[in-house]
Chain A
Amino acid sequence: MSAFPSAPLVALDTLWLQVAGTLCNLRCTHCFISCSPDNHAHGMMDRAAVARVLQEAEALGVREYYFTGGDPFLNREIFELAADALARGPLSILTNGVLLKPEWCARLRELSDASPYSLDLRVSIDGWDAATSDAIRGEGTFERILWGIGNLARAGLNPVVTVTEACAGAGSVAGRTRLLSFLTSIGLARPRLKVMPLLRLGVEAQRSRAYGPAETLRGVSLTAAEADVLQCSSSRTVTSRGVFVCPILLDAPAARMADTLSGSLRPFELRYPSCHTCHVEGLTCRT
């Protein structure tokens, strides 16, 4: 039986914080960590918990922060958390956008202006029309997401829009062109777009398909350059339950590496099918 390769932690550059745990106001059918209003697998992180992590991250020289969930805007302290992160480095907040009312976008703009570092808002849609996107994200969500995107743009925060390949053809040249012109049509003068492959985990495994037995890295040996591009060689993810190897494997018990960041700075054995996606499709959750 041949072994799985390991990814060394080359440098802790990127820190993901699951500030809303697995709690989400939506219940998307492609969510690889099955977030929903009632998934309490990972809980909300409060300001003190986040501050402890940020302090340790700063001492370790982390370069950038990402807030995710679930939806980070369900966290009542989200603006304080964002200010705490932006005092230390650039921050990206991943959101479904449906809660982004104008007053909140204005507050985000103030936080951005007050920091020497960049603040990015990243909003996910799943197609260029309500029919495609709502089928995945829920009835009426497309319009609501576009409202949030528009509010960000009006506050002068040009969001990064992500689309997964659940939107058929999104990654092709034609698909990208169509998405970019759609984003221009809704008022994003300089559309920023990231197309992401699907991870056949969580509820997505039922929507499309689960991973097949051949989709693993068993017996594969990675070069330094190949290991270097995997996000687990340069990041860790912190949730209410501890430090995990990456933002993808939150349901895998062995992916929980330690209680603290400094305890998690060791190689990780890539024995999950999603590791195959990362390696073969070059997936990174970073912008």
Chain B
Amino acid sequence: MKGILKLAYKLVVNDKAKFTALLVGITFAVFLMMFITSMFVGVLNHSAATVINIDAPIWVMDPTVQTPANTIGLPGYILDAVRSMQGVKYAVPLYAGAALLKLADGTYQSANIIGLDDTSLYGRPELIQGNIDDIYAENGFIAIQDADFPKLGNAHIGSEFELNDNRGVIVGIAKVRSSSLFGIPTLYTTYYRCLQYIPNPRYTISYVLVVPKSMRDVPRIKQQVKVLGYVALTKDEFIGRTTNFYIFQSGFGMNLLIMTAVSFIVGLSVSGQTFYTFILENLERFGALKAIGTKSRELVSIILFQAAFTSLTGYGLGVGLCVSLIGVAKLRMPEYAAMISYLNLAVPFAMVLVIAAISSYFGVRRVLAIEPFDIFRG
């Protein structure tokens, strides 16, 4: 079999023009599919930035909340109710909103404001400069060093700004795992300070963050929250809900689907047709192989091997191209919203297998249908 596969390899690779066309088709399709899905995963990741950064196991919220970008205030009694629920180790409030800052140079800049529970500072970011305790200092804010950090002006510890006629001072600079999608800088302060500085509707708690006694208590907590008319989501569920919102309700997902489908079709038609032409051109020789005494099973393995080899090579090139392009883009724009996850590798891989399967299916059908007698007759 090894020799037969080597023969198959030579037959396809030595046909340089066709092999190049096959590779270009598959590489291009893989590149497109991977690039688009990477953009999407990157964007989704940023859209759930608050959830990822705060990293609480359970989030209690209004049932109509779709993404962390639009919060609906919870009444204060919910916090107390959750705290007294069975299975809850502790629960803290979180404020998440946006506000307009007036920077030292007089320009305005909007920003995400996260208010951490005053006593526990649950969900605090990792400080690069300064001390977390300074968050309690008068007017203390911690700025997040991400792609949007420069929009705070030349911010450093001690920089001042105004927030609704209140003075704010940057007392620390921190980093978080995921930066926000919306292109505005993020400031952390205490929950209580948010209530003072930002004009709020009646209900002020954006989320109640819950740490359960054990993960086994999660269903019970969800049930108890539901009775109150609210919803408790695990971290992954909340990220999933956000993702679903962008995929299914924003039009974004549909566009992604269409673009992925288009790259798939382009890849399939370019490589599928090239492969099929390759088979057709060699049909007589396959017939001669059959006459000489190649078994059907061996002919099928030859074709499958050729399809698999070109597809996987194309896949490798496509992935390589995509990774290096995203790498270059990230060098220039550190927070470039593209992320390569297993999904981005798996989707084009599955597509490539489908392309290979479809192409070889038609090739195999043609080759098995050849009558060596017709080859004989010339």
Pair from one complex: no
